[in-house]
Amino acid sequence: MSALGTIITAVVTPFRDDFSVDEDAFVALLQHLADNGSDGFVVAGTTGEGSTLSVEEHLALVELAIREKPAGTSIIANAGGNDTRESIHLTERATELGADGTLNVVGYYNRPNRRGIVAHYRAVAAATDKPIVLYNIPSRSTLDLDNELLAELAQIEHVDAVKQANNANLALVDGLTLYAGNDDVLARTLDLGGAGGICVVSHLTGPLLREMVDATPERRAEIDARLQPLYRVLGVTTNPIPIKAALDLVGRPVGGLRLPMIEADDAERAQIRAVLADLGLLPA
pLDDT digits (tens, 9 = 90+) for 231-244: 999 999 999 999 99
User: Which one of 69, 130, 163, 244 is the catalytic residue?
Assistant: 163
Asked if 122 and 92 count as a contact pair (C-beta separation under 8 A), the reply is no
Residue range 220-270, pLDDT digits in tens: 999 999 999 999 999 999 999 999 999 999 999 999 999 999 999 999 999
User: Stretch 150-161: mean pLDDT, rounded?
Assistant: 98
Domains and CATH numbers, the chain: 7-215 (3.20.20.70)
SS3 16: coil
* Active site annotation includes 135: yes
* Longest distance between any two alpha carbons in the chain, whole Å: 55
Omega before 260 cis (within 30°)?
yes
* Active site annotation includes 163: yes
* pTM listed for this prediction: 0.96
| H helical segments located in 54-196 | 55-68, 84-97, 114-125, 138-141, 147-153, 186-192
Amino acid at 107: G
134 forms bridges with which residues in the sheet? 104, 162
User: Which one of 69, 121, 135, 231 is the catalytic residue?
Assistant: 135
For position 1, what pLDDT does the model report? 59
User: Stretch 180-208: mean pLDDT, rounded?
Assistant: 98
SS3 126: coil
